[in-house]
Structure formats: structure tokens, C-alpha cells
Structure 1
Amino acid sequence: MNYARSPFRLLPALLCLILCHASTELSAAPPENLPEVSDKNIHLRGSYQNSKQKFESTKTGHVAFLGGSITEMNGYRPMVCEFLEKTFPETKFTFTNAGISSTCSNTGAFRTNRDVLSQGPVDLFFVEFAVNDDQDAGHSKEAAIRGMEGVIAQIRRHNPYADIVMVHFVNPSMLETIQQKKKPLSSSSHEQVAKHYQISTIDLASEVARLIDADQLTWKQYGGTHPAPFGNAICAAMIDKLLTRAWQESGPKEKHSTPDQPLDVFSFRNGRLIDVKHAKLASGWEIKVPDWESISGSKRSRFTSIPMLCAEQPGAELELDFEGTALGAFIVAGPDAGQLEVSIDGGPFKTHDLYHHYSKGLHYPRTVVFSSELKPGKHQAKIRVSPESSSPGHAARIMYFTGN
């Protein structure tokens, strides 16, 4: 079994390989007394003959998973990997784990190329961002669509034969919304993207609500926002049921159709990360690995050795030439996070708060979008640290700028 290298550095890549392999071994025995999943919340759209034929004819396959901590953790992902290995025992799989805790679909669209497509064409792709678009990013319908459509469009443009499964996980507030016979904003927005691109969805959120209402499951059994093995096994069982049904069909290998028009013309279909080295630094900015030991707040090891574009004093300025319809920044925002004032093409400066409600005790990874509806073409941004702040500090720590 081959596991794709982490985009960050060698040590985590080796650790990921070990953990991914171990997690597959650990998930061998499914939890007992798992409730039977219904077809009601499994939405099969389109054909999955491309992945089936690739796995059977070439005995190789690239399967990628993109999402937040639910993807990154030892959860549904290794269970699905095990299912695939059992279904195609002669196939040598490469599994790419592109889950990064706390990240939303917007960040996902900006990092799809680096974290997924850089590993080669994807044959079968799984994506989940419903929970993080809800509780972490608090996205509007527009933002949730722009992020998810950006991911899907990039995967299909890179490989028109790629088969895709979208999964909607659930948190307490989303569960309550469903139990009130309403639809959560994040998952319903992603569902619009899935229907537009004829992509199958696993509505785990609605299935969990159904099972709880039928007294076949409790929220404690499910395990919470980050599901326990029991909850992840329910998700894996739904995916098993979807793919088993899809692969019973026969048909030719063929390119998936592409909609004539996107759902949103400003969706992040050309999302990308922009190296901070492209910035023209005027004063107060420096590219360095922050001295994390001297900075208060919890840090995630994934980010502590990455050089970042840093400023800590109001008035620090830079300029950035870029091309496309959007500009933002992928940052870590901790207890000292400040605010940035951004002017594009000589327009008025607009203030963007880097501080997040999770920043109080954690240097939290997030994407702040400065503008997303620019005219196509070349632009110039002027960025400065504001004297205003929602925290005691004024820090800005930028890993990448983001563009579209």
C-alpha cells in the first residue's frame, strides 16, 4: 500500500504513513450492534464505472480524502480504505489523506492543488466540509457554495474521469436543525453543488437524525462532532452501500459531464495558494519561522516549522501583485491576532479581523478572504496592519496568500 506524501514536511509524512496503516489495521473489526442504514439518505448520482474499471484493469488506484479534522482523524477514512482493499484485493492503492483540522471548504478549494492534485490524477475522491463550514467558518450560503464548487471543479478539470462522493457530517446545532424539519445551511449548500455536478452524497447528518428519532442511536453512541468508531462505522456503512450498488451496474468508462455554467461565477474553481515571497515588503514585515516558544497560546505541530510572513506592529505595510478574481490569506490566528486593512487597485482600505472565536487559546488556521468578486485580470493589493484589534496584540502570521 502506498500513501501520498504530506505537503508539509518529511517527518509528518512518515508519521502519517504509519498512522494511516495502523488505523486501517485497527478498524478491522466493525463495532457490534450497528444499526442498519437506510437508502433514504444515500443519494446515488451518475456512474462509478470509471473507478471500478481502473481498479480492476490496472490493479492500481489513487483515492483521496479532503476535509477537516473529521477526515484527518482515525475515523471514517481508514474504514473506507479497508473496504476498498477488501473489495479489490489485487489492487495497489495510493491513499491521500488531505484532511487538515479546522479548515473550511474555502481553504479546501485554495489547497486542492497542493494537497490533492499534486499527488497525481484522482480516481475516487471523498470530500467533507459541512461541519467546518458551519461551526468554524460560519459560512453564508454563497461562501459554502464557492468553496465546495471550487473543490469539485478542480478535481474534475484535472481528471474528467474522477468519481466523487460528498459526505455531510453533523454537529449538535445541525442535528437540532434537522430535527426541526429544516436543512442546515452548510450541507444544503453543498448539496446544491452535488446536484449541479451530478455527484453522489452521503447525508450522514440526516441519517443520524433519523436513527436517533427512531431510538436506534443516541448522540453519545455516535460520538459527537468528531464521531466515535461507532459513528464513523455508520458513515462507512453508508459509503459501502452506495459504492456496492453503483459498482453492480455495468457500462463504459467515460468522462463525467461538466455543467455549461457554474453555480456561482465567483466560485473558487481556480483556487490556489500564493507564496508569500511574492509580496513586496515595505516595513514591519518579515518572512520567518515564528519564535513559538515565546508566543502564548496553543500551537499545532503541523504549523510550527513553517516560514510565515509576520508582522506585529500597527502600520506594517506590503504590496502584492496578483491575478484573478479573489484575494485572501491562509493564516494562523492566535490570542494576539490583529486586523489587516486591505486596498485593491487603489480602492478604499477595508478592515479584516484575523481574530477568530477559537483564537483565544489556540493559533487557529483559517482563511480570510479579502475580496472575491474582482474583475478577471491583474491587480495590486496594499496591505497594512491596523491600529485596531480584537485582541491585546496586532499580530499577522500569513502562511500563504490565496487567489482565484
Structure 2
Amino acid sequence: MRSVFAAMALALVASLPALATAEPTYHAVPAELVKPRDGLGNVLAKLEAGETVRVAYLGGSITAANGWRVKTTAWLKQKYPDATIEEIHAAIGGTGSDLGVFRLERDALRYKPDLLFVEFAVNDGGASPDRIWKAMEGIVRQTWAANPKTDICFVYTFRVNYEEPLRQGECPQAASAMELLADHYGIPSVNFAKKIVELESDGKLVFQSDEPTEGKTHFSTDGVHPLDAGHEIYTEVLGDAIEQMASNARPVDHQVKLTTPFVQDHWQAAKMVPITSEMLSGDWKALAEDDTLQRRFGNRMGQIYEATEPGSKLTFRFRGSSAKLYDLLGPDGGQVIISVDGKPREKLVPRFDSYCTYHRIATLSVAGDVDPEATHEVTIEIHPDQPDRQPVAFRLKNPEVELKTPKYQGTNVRASQILVLGDIVP
């Protein structure tokens, strides 16, 4: 009888990790050029068999550039000439994993990738490990919930100031946080930044310079965005890593890995929900297909709605822990009054900042740290006064004149989607 109870006790203990896990503790991780972990066995099998393979690249401006992304696709086509390689461009400059997790389905997963590269180590450089874990784990879990045979690979790019920890043999904070998550899920990683620092230490590369240095690789002019030679190094490192993983490749069903989360409050539930006409009041209009902003941003944002008149409102209800607006900042941007459950925020929120000599994609946090089990109502209303344009003045040749031109006038708000951790309630 005692042995029966002992067996039952052991079975209960064995089941506990799947139900609850201790929250992880951050620590710096040793930097390695390649960590194969569970490898890329699924996609390599399809490549070797000459099948159609879709490769998605999720990241920021370093990936959005026609650099390592384009070069890696070309390398795969050359390495596996019998396979058909289709590239999924899912990168947006100036964005991190906190947006990537919300746009993952729209920009990557709906195209059914066989391989997903994730590049956010630079743009997540200022984020806490906890925030990185929530968003990056959401990306991992959404991907494998959609298709447990999709392989994922984390890549870590370089920026100036990352060299010090790397010279000490450690990953910078963002990459260390991602490595801890990658260990949990068996995700392979490739550390481009480590190679860049090694080359600089050997006297073969200059991190940042306006002019080439004779006999040395000119990596960048700004310390972040590689020139072509820098992208070539990234591609060579990644190609070597893929060949290394190919030598011991085995297909893996990633479904079983979803049993035990890394952090309990991960963002797998993150989603992007289109704005509908029922949510709008005032002078909102759907931009036409031939509108300049719709043509420029519609591929990423979907249908963009625009309002120019004060008092125009966007109202929606959601159940969950947070909600954001996927919108545009621009030189003619207005400012908004945000109310949650009838309580207006104390300060107005401008849709304009010191970079707004042009329009760009942004997110507006409208509700956070709310009761995730309750239904919340959010209202975003255009304020009558346009925001102060002086923050952008230092970028202009003649600010006194330019800030009075039509380009910098208006109370315009443009948005397309609601980013919600939870669900929109009709």
C-alpha cells in the first residue's frame, strides 16, 4: 500500500511544473556565436527535399533594410537550388517586440512561414527583461499555436555600447533576456553582434565612421545600421550557423513545449483588431486606396481612418489587461483626450513629436493595468488645439517660417487597428 501512495505522490509532483513554474530571474548570459539548441530540423528537411519554404523576418529597421534579410534569402536559394524560397518581409523600423507580438499574425503568420527569424535585440535595448520576456514569449507561443512545425531562430544584431559586455564575454541585457527564453523553449540563436566585436578587437573593423578606414571593414555611419559590408558579415555568420545546424538536424514538433510557460503573464493573447465604422463618430473617413498615406502604410496597417475635426471620437470596449491604438504620428498630428471607463486622463496626448518632419507608424497606449476580467470602455477624442510644434524646430532650416506652413498645421488623427491583450467586446 505504501508503494502505491508513493507512486501517486511522485506522479503529482511530476505534474506540478506544467501547472505552475517559478518566475525566472534575470542574469547576464555568456555570449556564443551560435547556440543550436533544438535546431532548424523542420525547415531544413523541407529545404533538402526541394519543397516550397516560406521564411519570415520579424524585426526593426536593421531587418527592414535591403541587407541581411535579402542576402539571407539569396543565400538560401543558392544553397538549396531545388527548393522554392519565398520571403516574408515583416520588419518595421523603430519598433520592438512589444509591437511585434501584436502584429505577428497580420505581418507574418497568415502567410504560413516555415521559418521565423526574430530580430529585436537592438530595439529592445531599453526594455526591462520582464517586458522582453512577455512580448518575446508571446511571439513564440503564437507561432507554435498556429503551426508547431514552424522553426524559430533569434538573431542578435549590434549597436555601439553593446561592445563592452561582449568584450567581457557576455550578451547585452536584451540578448541575455532573450537567451534565457530561448533556453527554455530550445530556440536556436545566432549572435551577429559577437562577430562584429571580435572583428573590431582584431583591428579588422570600425564600428562607426563617416569615412572608410583603409584596410578595415566600415561597419556603419551611425553605430547601429550596417552598411552593405556589415550586412554581408551578418549573412555569412547566419549561413555558417545554418550549415552547422544542418549537420545534426532532426525534425521537432514544438507543440509539447507550450505545456510549461516561461513567464505566467506572457502576451500570447496579444492581437490586432481592425477599427470599424461603428466605433467612430464625428468626421472620420476611410482613406482611399490612392491616398498617399494609405498607399505608404496600408500594407502594414490595413485600412486607415482619418479625422481632422475636434470632437471626433473613437470608442470601443474590451475585456483584458491593456489596449493600444495602432496609429500614425506626423507633422500635422493633433492631440487627444483619452478616457477609460468614463475617467479622462489628466494630460492630453499629442500625435506629434520631435521626429515629425514626416509620418510614421506608432502606438498609443490608451488603457493599461486594468482589471483583466472586467469590460472596459475607451474613448479617444480629438482636442481643439494642435500640439506645440516647437519640439521639431531644431530639425528645420528655417523653423519660424516652416512651422507656419500647411504641413505643420492641423489636429489630424489617423489610426487603423486596436492592439489588445484580451478581446474586443461588441
TM-score range, shorter chain: 0.7 to 0.9
Tell me by how many angstroms 1:140 deviates.
Answer: 4.1
Paired residues of 1:354 and 1:396 also in contact (CA < 8 A):
no
1:3-402 mapped onto 2 (5 Å cutoff): 40-57=32-49, 59-120=51-112, 122-134=113-125, 138-175=126-163, 178=166, 184-220=172-208, 221-223=218-220, 224-255=223-254, 257-277=256-276, 279-289=278-288, 302-303=296-297, 307-347=303-343, 349=345, 351=347, 353-355=349-351, 357=353, 359-374=355-370, 375-376=372-373, 378-386=375-383, 390-392=387-389, 394-402=411-419
Number of the residue aligned with 1:16: none
Tell me by how many angstroms 1:264 deviates.
Answer: 4.1
Find the residue that maps to 2:105 and give its secondary structure.
helix
Distance 1:133 1:394 in 2: 31
Paired residues of 2:44 and 2:249 also in contact (CA < 8 A):
no
Distance 1:300 1:140 in 2: 34
Moved more, 391-400 or 92-101: 391-400
Tell me by how many angstroms 1:325 deviates.
Answer: 3.2
Paired residues of 2:141 and 2:258 also in contact (CA < 8 A):
no
- What is the percent sequence identity of the aligned residues? 27
Paired residues of 1:165 and 1:201 also in contact (CA < 8 A):
yes
Number of the residue aligned with 1:12: none
The superposition leaves residues 235-290 of structure 1 with CA deviations (integer Å, 9 ceiling, x where unpaired) of: 11221222111111154543354244434444331322221215522335443359
Describe the shift of the 1:389–1:174 C-alpha distance in structure 2 as closer, same or farther (beyond 3 A). farther
Describe the shift of the 1:288–1:351 C-alpha distance in structure 2 as closer, same or farther (beyond 3 A). farther
Say what the alpha-carbon RMSD is for the aligned residues.
3.2
Find the residue that maps to 1:130 and give its secondary structure.
coil
Paired residues of 1:292 and 1:304 also in contact (CA < 8 A):
no
Tell me by how many angstroms 1:304 deviates.
Answer: 7.4
Paired residues of 2:50 and 2:84 also in contact (CA < 8 A):
no
Find the residue that maps to 2:336 and give its secondary structure.
strand
Distance 1:387 1:182 in 2: 51
The superposition leaves residues 32-89 of structure 1 with CA deviations (integer Å, 9 ceiling, x where unpaired) of: xxxxxxx932222213221122223362212111112222221011221122223322
Tell me by how many angstroms 1:158 deviates.
Answer: 0.9
Taking structure 2 as the reference length, what is the TM-score of the superposition?
0.73
Tell me by how many angstroms 1:351 deviates.
Answer: 4.8
Tell me by how many angstroms 1:113 deviates.
Answer: 0.9
The superposition leaves residues 160-203 of structure 1 with CA deviations (integer Å, 9 ceiling, x where unpaired) of: 11111111112224446656887544333333332332212222
Unmatched 5+ residue regions in structure 2? Answer: 1-30, 209-217, 390-409, 422-426
Find the residue that maps to 1:79 and give its secondary structure.
helix
Letter in 1 for 2:123: N
Describe the shift of the 1:321–1:186 C-alpha distance in structure 2 as closer, same or farther (beyond 3 A). same
Find the residue that maps to 1:365 and give its secondary structure.
strand
Rg (Cα) greater in structure: 2
Tell me by how many angstroms 1:157 deviates.
Answer: 1.2
Describe the shift of the 1:150–1:353 C-alpha distance in structure 2 as closer, same or farther (beyond 3 A). farther
Distance 1:205 1:176 in 2: 11
Find the residue that maps to 1:258 and give its secondary structure.
helix
Paired residues of 1:166 and 1:200 also in contact (CA < 8 A):
yes
Unmatched 5+ residue regions in structure 1? Answer: 1-38, 294-298
Tell me by how many angstroms 1:390 deviates.
Answer: 4.8
Taking structure 1 as the reference length, what is the TM-score of the superposition?
0.76
Find the residue that maps to 1:330 and give its secondary structure.
strand
